[in-house]
Every structure is written in structure tokens, then in C-alpha cells.
């Protein structure tokens, strides 16, 4: 369990650090290939094979049934942290009718998530996610902090501060939560 907790913490730190670095600028260059070495036991020569990383990522997503399966639907992506230091990820459809919110505590390796219809209370402006599986709801206010971050204020439950991220960053974080945390709700 301690090894699992350590690994989860390292993975989440890596994902968050990568996201902060990657969000800092734009790049028009395309990642075309990586090199792989052939097994030295079979031959003394080094064989270099080019691998298209996009095709590899797509193939892995199809095999694993990952969040990449929903890339056409979940196009609005944010990530951040809670007041208590928990890692958070929020993804939604373009029309904001469906959303996923995942929050994980790296120390306990536990997570909570809500995935389902997203509705807005016209009188208060509060948003509510109704989880498709548990039918539980989570209601929160979205506050624009004016610095390209948003606060999701859930009242007594706590607050999350999130910032826009790429779809890859959000899906990697969701896959990490699914793989390395124990859901508690």
C-alpha cells in the first residue's frame, strides 16, 4: 500500500508538472517519432525503428478503454488542486451538458468522481453534476478569479482551483486516477 501511495504521488506530481510546463507556450511542431533499440542478444548491430507516437497513443487508448475514447465528447478540460491539496480534473462537453469531475488524495490513494449530466440553476448560476452510476449530485459555484483560473466552490465540501489544460493532460490524469486510486464514491 505504501508503494502504491508513493507511486500515485509521483505520477500525480509528474502529470501536474508536465501540465504546467506544457501549458506555458504553444508549439507548432509535430512530434513525429521516437527511436527504439533492437534486442542486443539477437544482433550486434543497433536497429533503429521509427514509431509514430500518435498511432501508438491511439492504439493504447483503444486497447485500454481509456478516457481517449471520449475525446470527441469531452473537449473542455481543466485541472488543479483543492484547498486540502487534492489533485482535481474537470472535463465537459462543448455545450456543458455532460461533465466529469475527479478529485484524488495522493496521500490516501483514494478518489471521488462524478460523471453525468451537468445542469445549471438559472436563478443561482450554480452547476450540478448528477452521477450516472450512483445518481448522487454535486453542486458548485464557478468563480472566475480573473487570472485564467477558476474556483469551484462546493460550500462545506471545499473549493477547487482549476486552470485550462490540454485534453491529453486531462485524460492522462483521469486515467491515472482510475488506475492508481481507490474510488470512495
> What are the pLDDT digits (tens) for 55-109?
444 444 344 567 888 888 899 999 999 999 999 999 999 999 999 999 999 999 9
Residue 6 has pLDDT above 90, yes or no: no
Q: How would DSSP label each residue in 162-181?
A: EEE--HHHHHHHHHHHHHHS
Instruction: Give the integer Cα–Cα distance in Å for 111 and 174.
Output: 11
Q: For residue 64, what pLDDT is reported?
A: 53
Residue corresponding to grid cell 475514447: 69
Q: Is 181 helix (H, G, I), strand (E, B) or coil?
A: coil
Instruction: Give the integer Cα–Cα distance in Å for 76 and 120.
Output: 16
Top pLDDT among 32 and 4 is at 4
Instruction: Give the integer Cα–Cα distance in Å for 173 and 162.
Output: 13
Instruction: Give the integer Cα–Cα distance in Å for 26 and 146.
Output: 21
Q: Which residues contact 125 (CB under 8 A, 6 or more apart)?
A: 141, 142
What length is written for the chain?
185
The CATH fold of domain 74-183: Lipocalin (2.40.128)
> What are the pLDDT digits (tens) for 166-182?
999 999 999 999 999 99
* Domain coordinates in residue numbering, the chain: 74-183
Instruction: Give the integer Cα–Cα distance in Å for 116 and 133.
Output: 8
Q: Which residues contact 66 (CB under 8 A, 6 or more apart)?
A: 60, 171, 175
All cell numbers assigned to 125: 448560476
Amino acid at each position: 500500500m505504501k508503494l502504491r501511495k508513493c507511486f500515485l504521488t509521483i505520477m500525480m506530481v509528474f502529470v501536474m508538472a508536465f501540465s504546467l510546463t506544457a501549458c506555458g507556450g504553444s508549439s507548432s511542431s509535430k512530434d513525429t517519432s521516437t527511436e527504439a533499440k533492437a534486442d542486443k542478444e539477437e544482433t550486434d548491430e543497433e536497429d533503429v525503428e521509427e514509431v509514430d507516437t500518435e498511432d501508438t497513443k491511439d492504439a493504447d487508448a483503444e486497447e485500454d478503454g481509456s478516457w481517449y475514447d471520449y475525446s470527441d465528447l469531452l473537449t473542455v478540460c481543466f485541472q488543479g488542486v483543492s484547498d486540502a491539496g487534492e489533485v482535481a480534473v474537470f472535463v465537459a462537453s462543448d455545450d456543458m451538458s455532460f461533465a466529469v469531475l475527479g478529485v484524488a488524495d495522493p496521500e490516501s490513494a483514494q478518489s471521488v468522481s462524478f460523471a453525468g449530466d451537468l445542469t445549471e440553476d438559472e436563478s443561482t448560476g450554480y452547476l450540478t453534476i448528477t452521477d450516472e452510476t450512483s445518481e448522487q449530485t454535486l453542486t458548485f459555484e464557478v468563480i472566475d478569479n480573473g487570472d485564467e483560473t477558476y474556483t469551484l466552490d462546493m460550500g462545506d465540501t471545499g473549493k477547487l482551483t482549476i486552470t485550462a489544460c490540454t485534453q491529453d493532460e486531462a485524460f492522462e490524469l483521469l486515467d491515472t486516477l482510475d488506475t492508481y486510486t481507490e474510488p470512495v464514491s
